[in-house]
Amino acid sequence: MRIAALALALALLPLAAQADQPLSAGQRFAQDATIVDTHIDAPSLLLRHWADLGVDTPKVEFDYPRARQGGLDVAFMSIYTSPGEDKAGEATQIAHTQIDAVEAMIGRRPEQFALLRSPKDFDRLHAHGQRVLLALGMENGAPIGDDLSRLKLFHERGVRYITLAHSEDNRISDSSYSRKHTWKGLSPFGEKVVDEMNRLGIMVDVSHLSDDATRDVLARSKAPVIASHSGLRHFTPGFERNISDELAKAVAAKGGVIQIVFGNAFVDPASAAVTQAYFVASAQFEQEQAAARARGETPKSSEAFDKEWEAAHPPLPVKIDAVLNQIDYGIKLVGADHIGIGSDFDGVGGALPDGLKSVADYPNLIEGMKARGHSEETIRKVLGGNLLRVWSAVEAKASQQ
């Protein structure tokens, strides 16, 4: 494992400092393969604090130097809006502002970044590996509101997948985190959303959805669907946020792909238990907030609640093996054609396994897969080939309608 250790050590250094360092086998493979990560939360961070991600930016997990170091070719930027922003009527504007931020990053660094709207444009825009291509995935369908025409507008702006719901039920779908399950699956409006996404060529993402909603999506969609950043429930029984064996098989049978997430909360049973406890406590806290307001009192803020929770529940130590175990099991369950990666970098507060702390670390995943006996063909499929195939299939289906 000396090579993996070297790769990890090199990943912690700025790219320029490595010019005279030999590449590890994992790094060489990463530079040659096409790596597609379907979930990176950089846009939310850019709105909170603007940073030039074209240079080494130590406080985040995605920047250009480390992306090149790790061999990342396509990074789906997560256009995330919260249920609270939806309730406040702010989701649509926030989504547009996050897309503006991504466009600004590309505009300032055109030699380093480009917006990828279709896998057909990959070779033209990639510039022989000098650019990191940024695609857009919308996490939470809240910015659509009640207006189907917004799907066309967001498609025109580059959004190529939509996670229909997030941590609460919305107008479109039930969430896996919600105890209400308002629609018992997709809403009638949600069915129209899936139809329109199929027509436009936007991938339907079932990460975060309840089991019933995922079943409804699979029954409704005419195109393959994805889980952009999900773990496998086999490792975290009772955690509906992770996809069940039954539904993973159904996604694969429809030609789709399950993108394995890296965050501790989804790949480690103990961390998943803490996450489940958080959502129970958060729901109780929201009830207490509402009761305080009804009494005319000023309740404790959600930010204060989250800060106290994080202080009381620091991240648990997790090894890279937790992610490798998920990939191994997923390949055995649904086949090598239906597993990919969706890290959730910059979206889990740094709660990531050792050896997978930033976009520089994909070579460590490669070394781990090789050590477990996976062929180069399988590794290339998981790193990005499968996702590009599904994206192309969704586009082809749209062109037939």
Q: Is 302 helix (H, G, I), strand (E, B) or coil?
A: helix
Greater confidence (129 vs 213) lies with 213
Look-up: residue for tokens 């996404």? 197
Domain boundaries, the chain: 24-268+317-399, 269-315
Q: Is the pLDDT of residue 17 over 80?
A: no
Please state the φ and ψ torsions of residue 158, each to the nearest 5 degrees: 115, 0
Q: What integer pLDDT is reported at residue 268 of this predicted model?
A: 96
The mean pLDDT of 182-203, rounded to a whole number, is: 98
- List pLDDT tens digits, range 273-299: 998 888 889 888 888 998 998 999 998
> Above 80 in pLDDT, residue 15?
no
103 pLDDT band, cuts 50/70/90, is very high
Mean pLDDT rounded to a whole number for the chain = 93
Cβ-contact 230, 259 below 8 angstroms: yes
Instruction: Give the pLDDT band (50/70/90) at residue 20.
Output: low
Pick from 135, 148, 143, 147: nearest CA to 226: 135
24-268+317-399 topology per CATH? TIM Barrel (3.20.20)
pLDDT digits (tens, 9 = 90+) for 106-134: 999 999 999 999 999 999 999 778 999 99
Q: What does the buried/exposed string (b/e) look like for 192-222 if buried means 16 or more CB atoms within 10 Å of the residue's CB? A: ebbebbbbbbbbbbbbbbbbbbbbbbbebbe
The CA distance from 69 to 132, in Å, is: 11
Q: Please provide the DSSP assignment of 179-198 as one string.
A: SS-TTSSB-HHHHHHHHHHH
Q: Say whether pLDDT at 1 is over 80.
A: no
